[in-house]
A and B are shown apart, each in its own frame.
Chain A
Amino acid sequence: MIAYILRRLAQSVLVMLVVALVSFSLFRYVGDPVATMMGQEASVADREALRERLGLNDPVIVQFGTFIVRAAQGNFGVSYRLQQPVLELILSRLPATLELALISGGIAFVFGVALGVYTALNRRGWLSNVIMTTSLIGVSLPTFLIGVLLIWIFAVELQWLPSFGRGETVDIGPWRTGLLTASGRASLVLPAITLGLYQMTLIMRLVRAEMLEVLRTDYIKFARARGLPNRMVNFGHALKNTLVPVITITGLQLGSIIAFAIITETVFQWPGVGALFINSVQFVDVPVMAAYLMLIALIFVLINLIVDLLYYAVDPRLRVDRAGARH
Chain B
Amino acid sequence: MTLGFMRSGRLRRTTAALLASAALALTLVPAEAKTLRWARVGDALTLDPHSANEGPTSTLLHHIYETLVTRANDGSLEPGLATEWSIHPDDPSVWVFKLREGVKFHDGADFTAEDVVFSMERVRKESSDFKGLHSAVVGAEVVDNYTVHIKMSGPSPLYVQNLTNFFIMDKGWAEANGVETPQDFKAGEEKYTVRNTNGTGPYTLVSRDPEVRTVLALNPNHWAQPPQVTEIIYTPIKEAATRVAALLSGEVDFVQDVPVQDISRLEQTAGVKVTTGPENRSIFFAYDMGSDTLKSVSTGDNPFKKAEVREAFALALDRDAIMKVVMRGQSQPSGVAMPPFVNGWTEALHAYGDPDYDKAKGLLAEAGYPDGFSVDFHCPNDRYLNDEAICQAYVGMLGRIGVKANLVSQSRTIHFPAIQNREVDFYLLGWGVPTFDSAYVFDFLVHSQEDARGGWNGSRYNNPEVDAMIKSLATETDLEKRNATIAAIWDKVQADRVLLAVHNQLLAYAVKDGISLDVHPENQPKMTTVTFD
Which residues of A come within 8 Å of B, CB atoms? 30-47, 49-50, 53-55, 75, 77-78, 80-85, 89, 148, 151-152, 155-156, 159, 162-166, 266-269, 271, 275-276, 278-279, 282-284
Interfacial chain A residues near B45, Cβ < 8 Å: 81-83
Tell me whether A43 and B455 are in contact (CB under 8 A).
yes
B363: interface (CB < 8 Å): no
Identify which of B183, B242, B413 contacts A283 (C-beta below 8 A): B413
Q: How far is the CA of A279 from the CA of B382 in the complex (A)?
A: 12
CB-based contact B190/A85 at 8 Å? yes
Query: CA A41 – CA B135 in complex, angstroms?
Result: 11
| A298 vs chain B, min Cβ distance (A) | 22
* Distance A35 CA – B195 CA, assembled complex (angstroms): 24
Tell whether, in the assembled complex, residue A266 and residue B412 are in contact, meaning their CB atoms are under 8 Å apart. no
B30 within 8 A of A: no
Asked if residues B241 and A148 are in contact (CB atoms below 8 Å), the reply is yes
CB neighbours of B242 from chain A (8 A):
148, 151, 163-164, 267-269
Of B133, B245, B382, the residue contacting A41 (CB under 8 A) is B133
Q: Contacting A37 at CB < 8 Å: which of B52, B186, B432?
A: B52
User: Which of B42, B246, B414, B455 is close to A32, meaning CB atoms less than 8 Å apart?
Assistant: B414
Closest A residue to B235 by CB, please name it. Answer: A165
- In the assembled complex, 17 residue pairs joining A and B whose CB atoms fall closer than 8 Å, in A order, are A30-B411, A32-B416, A33-B413, A36-B416, A40-B456, A41-B53, A41-B133, A43-B132, A46-B132, A151-B245, A155-B246, A163-B246, A165-B213, A266-B238, A267-B239, A269-B238, A275-B211
Is A54 in contact with B211, judged by CB distance below 8 angstroms? no
Which residues of chain A are within 8 angstroms of B412 by Cβ–Cβ distance? 31, 35-36
Contact between A34 and B417 (Cβ–Cβ < 8 Å)?
yes
Q: Does B278 make an interface contact (CB < 8 A)?
A: no
Binds A, one of B67-75, B85-93, B123-131, B463-471: B123-131
Contact B249 A155 (CB under 8 A): yes
On whether the beta carbons of A38 and B249 are closer than 8 Å, the reply is no
Q: How far is the CA of A276 from the CA of B235 in the complex (A)?
A: 15
On whether the beta carbons of B239 and A31 are closer than 8 Å, the reply is no
Instruction: Give the nearest-CB partner of A42 in chain B.
Output: B132
CA of A82 to CA of B236 in the docked complex: distance in angstroms? 14
B:420-458 near A, CB below 8 Å: 420, 431-432, 444, 449, 451-452, 455-456
Contact among B239, B414, B449 for A269, CB-based, below 8 A: B239
Which 3 A-B residue pairs are closest in the complex by CB-CB distance?
Answer: A31-B413, A39-B53, A41-B132
Given A82-B210, A156-B249: A77 in contact with B188 (beta carbons within 8 A): yes
Within 8 A of A (CB), among B223-269: 235-239, 241-242, 245-246, 248-251
A27–B449 CA distance with the chains assembled, in angstroms: 29
- Taking a contact as CB atoms under 8 Å apart, the answer to whether B211 and A84 are in contact is no
B212 at the interface (CB under 8 A from A): yes
Contact yes or no, A44 B420, CB < 8 A:
yes
Number of B positions contacting A (CB below 8 A): 59
> When chains A and B are docked, how far (Å) is the Cα of A34 from the Cα of B417?
9
Cβ contact within 8 Å between B211 and A32: no
Of chain A, the residue at the smallest CB distance from B187 is A78
In the complex, A37→B127 CA distance in Å?
11
Complex Cα distance A33/B210, Å? Answer: 20
Alpha-carbon distance between A30 and B410 when the two chains are bound, in angstroms: 10
* Distance in angstroms between the alpha carbons of A155 and B247 in the assembled complex: 10
- Chain B's closest residue to A44 (CB) is B455
- B189 close to A (CB within 8 Å): yes
The verdict on A78 contacting B132 (CB below 8 Å), with A35-B413, A155-B249, A266-B239 known, is no
A152 touches B455 (CB 8 A): no
A159 to B52, CA, bound (A): 38
Distance to closest chain A CB from B167 (angstroms)? 14
Residues on A with C-beta less than 8 A from B382 are: 282
Given A164-B251, A165-B235, A266-B239, A39 contacting B245 (CB threshold 8 A)? no
Q: Are B417 and A32 in contact (CB under 8 A)?
A: yes
Beyond A33-B413, A84-B195, A278-B238: 17 further Cβ-contacts under 8 Å? A31-B417, A39-B53, A43-B132, A44-B420, A53-B127, A55-B186, A78-B189, A84-B194, A89-B210, A148-B241, A155-B246, A156-B248, A156-B249, A159-B249, A164-B235, A269-B236, A283-B413
> Which B residues are in CB contact (< 8 Å) with A148?
241-242, 245
**CA–CA, A271 and B394, complex, Å:** 39
B46 nearest CB across to chain A (Å): 5
Whole-angstrom distance between the Cβ of A131 and the nearest chain B Cβ: 28
Q: Is the CB of A83 within 8 A of B245?
A: no
Residues A83 and B246 in contact in the complex (CB < 8 Å), given A36-B413, A78-B185? no
Residue from B51, B184, B420, B449 having most chain A Cβ neighbours under 10 A? B420
Q: Kindly provide the distance from the CB of A281 to the nearest chain B CB, expressed in whole angstroms.
A: 9
Q: Are B212 and A78 in contact (CB under 8 A)?
A: no
A195 and B249 alpha carbons, distance in the complex (Å): 22
CB closest residue in chain B, given A29? B414
Q: Known contacts A44-B455, A151-B245; decide if A31 and B420 are in contact (CB<8 Å).
A: no
In this complex, what residue of A is CB-closest to B195? A84
